[in-house]
Amino acid sequence: MLRLASHACIIVFLTILTQLSGIAWALSRLFRRPLPAFVILYTGLSLAAVWIAPLTGRTALSCFERGPLQVQSWVYCATNRTYVTPELRTVLQEAAATVEAVYPGTQTLVLDGSFPFLTGFPLLPHLSHDDGEKVDLAFYYADATGAYLSGQTRSSFGYFAFEQGSTHCPDQWLSLRWNLAWLQPLWKAYQLEPERNRLLIETLVEEPSIGKIFVELHLQQSLRLADDKIRFQGCRAARHDDHIHIQL
């Protein structure tokens, strides 16, 4: 019974993490060598999702294509977190191309999108990435001299390297607004590249299909951004001064 319960916990954890690996783990228990079977099954399910998900309205952003729009880390592809609707994919590609046309060599980096299947299936720790219509983009960064750093982020996975600024949010329980102060000294000492970040957000604002863009208030001020689509996400949601959240 204990062994069965442990496998059930593993299946739940893997399903929350990647949506498909819990299925692979359950099926791998039927084989004499379950670990190699798990790797093969999960790889097969993930590859199949790339072909099947478009039938249900989502498409995967590739980790192998080179161009102005790229996934920040192969980890996002390996965990099936790069799925968006075809409409959102087109918006991302066009916005990245616009920034690259003005600033040649610019790479726009995608972080979390959604899982391949099931509207309403949560992509933790996000509150709303459950339908392919939301995606996070990394900020553009520069070195101490102000020179743009192509394809670079402060943290290794694009999240949790917060830009510090004034906030009216109090410390409170039951909140996803993590400050993670202990992590901040570990990140690279890059600074935001203001021109590219401003151009990207303004380009997205002009796209009729974009409904909301979440950016922290102090960055809205420092980047001189003002539009009804640009919102503050609230004090109980995750901070948005480490990435840009957009949604249809």
What is the DSSP track for 7-51? Answer: HHHHHHHHHHHHSSHHHHHHHHTTSSSHHHHHHHHHHHHHHHHHH
Distance CA 198, CA 106 (A): 13
What pLDDT is recorded for position 20?
97
Asked if residue 124 lies in contact with residue 150, where contact means CB atoms within 8 angstroms, the answer is no
Each of the 248 residues of the chain gets a pLDDT tens digit; together they read 778 888 899 999 999 999 999 999 999 999 999 999 999 999 999 999 999 999 999 999 998 888 999 999 999 999 999 999 999 999 999 999 999 999 999 999 999 999 999 999 999 988 889 999 999 999 999 999 999 999 999 999 999 999 998 888 887 777 788 889 999 999 999 999 999 999 999 999 999 999 999 999 999 999 999 999 999 998 888 899 999 999 99
What pLDDT is recorded for position 1?
75
220 vs 160, 180, 217, CA distance in Å? 18, 22, 5
The edge-to-edge listing of strands for the beta sheet with 69-71 is: 69-71, 108-110, 134-138, 243-247, 212-214, 230-231
What pLDDT is recorded for position 77?
96
What pLDDT is recorded for position 3?
80
What are the percentages of helix, strand and coil residues in the chain, rounded to 5? Answer: 35, 10, 50
What pLDDT is recorded for position 49?
97
Asked if residue 201 lies in contact with residue 230, where contact means CB atoms within 8 angstroms, the answer is yes
Asked if residue 155 lies in contact with residue 240, where contact means CB atoms within 8 angstroms, the answer is no
Chain centroid to CA 88: 13
Buried b (16+ CB within 10 A) or exposed e, 39-74: eebbeebbeebbeebeeebbbbbebeeeebbbbbbe
What pLDDT is recorded for position 65?
84
Contacts of 172 by beta carbon, 8 Å cutoff, 6+ apart: 235, 236
Closest alpha carbon to 239 in 165, 155, 132, 153? 165
pTM: 0.93
What pLDDT is recorded for position 153?
97
Q: For each of the domains in the chain, give its residue range(s) and CATH number, in order of start.
A: 1-56 (no CATH), 58-247 (3.30.1380.10)
| Residues 95/96/101/104 CA torsion (nearest 10 deg) | 160
